[in-house]
Structure 1
Amino acid sequence: MNRRKQKKLTRRLVWAAAVGDTYTVRRVLRTGVDPELPDADGTTALYTASVHGAASTVRALLRAGACPDTESTGLTDGTPLCGAAAWGHLAAVRELLAYGADPNLREDHGTGSTPLHWARQGAGGPYPETEAALVAARAV
């Protein structure tokens, strides 16, 4: 696949993940595009799906090989688990944990907040159910 087509498909993948369009995400993934590739802004599809709480899209991306701990950088940054926890998206948090997301991984390349911090003091939090899921996964 040439670079131009890859960039176009990656942009489409990230957009579809942001709106929770799992059908389009699966269709784009079938073209062979790498689910780990960020868009031009540095945002990964998994991070976008996680932040928006699109659990079925998160699952599709993880099944396609997206790493649950890959951090987005650029305009929107952080780990998928931090993003989901910050908004209390319990189903997305559970999917990420089921696929091996590290419940203690700090964002900002290890210097920022943990998912548990976000669940306790997130964007609209606290989110006690999300916090409980993280604690059950041994988050500290």
Structure 2
Amino acid sequence: MNQRRRKKLSRHLFEAIWMGDTARAKTLLRAGVDPERRDSEGTTPLYEACVNGKAGIARLLLAAGAFPDAESGGPGSEGTPLCAAACWGHTETVRELLAHGADPNLREDHGTGWSPLDWANNGPHPETADLLTTAGATPTREPWRS
């Protein structure tokens, strides 16, 4: 597949994520879209799916080889998929990530930022926090401190 086609299909994958179109995402992944290919700003497809609570699409991306702990970049899209999902209380997405080996204690910002549990507690999203704690997460910050 040439570079231009890869870029176009990757753009279509991001569109499918934004629209929550699981069937289209599945078709694109089967067509050979790289589940790790970042957009022009550095955002990973998995991060985009997780921050928007698209658990079904996250599952597809993970099954296609997306790395569950890859840190995303780009304005407003920095961090790990698990932190993104935990921040917004997307419990089903958190469950998918944990089932695919995401580290419940991995702090974002290359290990210097908040952990998924810190984000869930800060939400507050108690159901998500309970799931992370059950998976072995331990808090690294007090919720009221930045």
Alignment partner, residue 103 of structure 2: 102
Q: 8 Å contact 1:17–1:46 — kept in the other structure?
A: no
Alignment partner, residue 81 of structure 1: 82
Q: CA deviation at 1:18?
A: 2.6
Alignment partner, residue 91 of structure 1: 92
Alignment partner, residue 134 of structure 1: 132
Q: Distance in 2 between matches of 1:38 and 1:24?
A: 18
Q: 8 Å contact 1:46–1:80 — kept in the other structure?
A: yes
The one-character-per-residue Cα deviations of 1:25-59 (angstroms, maximum 9, x if unpaired) are 11111111210111111111111111111111111
* Secondary structure of the structure 2 residue equivalent to 1:46: helix
What does residue range 6-21 of structure 1 map to in structure 2 within 5 Å?
6-21=6-21
User: What is the count of residue pairs matched by the alignment?
Assistant: 137
Q: CA deviation at 1:108?
A: 1.1
Q: 8 Å contact 1:18–1:45 — kept in the other structure?
A: no
User: Which ranges of structure 2 fall in alignment gaps of 5 or more residues?
Assistant: 139-146
TM-score (norm 1): 0.94
Alignment partner, residue 63 of structure 2: 63
The one-character-per-residue Cα deviations of 1:97-137 (angstroms, maximum 9, x if unpaired) are 0000000111111111100010011xxx2000000000000
| 4+ runs deviating over 4 angstroms | none
Pairwise CA RMSD? 0.9
Alignment partner, residue 42 of structure 2: 42
Q: 8 Å contact 1:82–1:107 — kept in the other structure?
A: yes
Q: Distance in 1 between matches of 2:86 and 2:19?
A: 18
TM-score (norm 2): 0.90
User: Which ranges of structure 1 fall in alignment gaps of 5 or more residues?
Assistant: none
Identity, in percent, stands at: 59
Q: Distance in 2 between matches of 1:23 and 1:29?
A: 10
- The answer to whether the aligner puts 1:30 opposite 2:43 as a matched pair is no
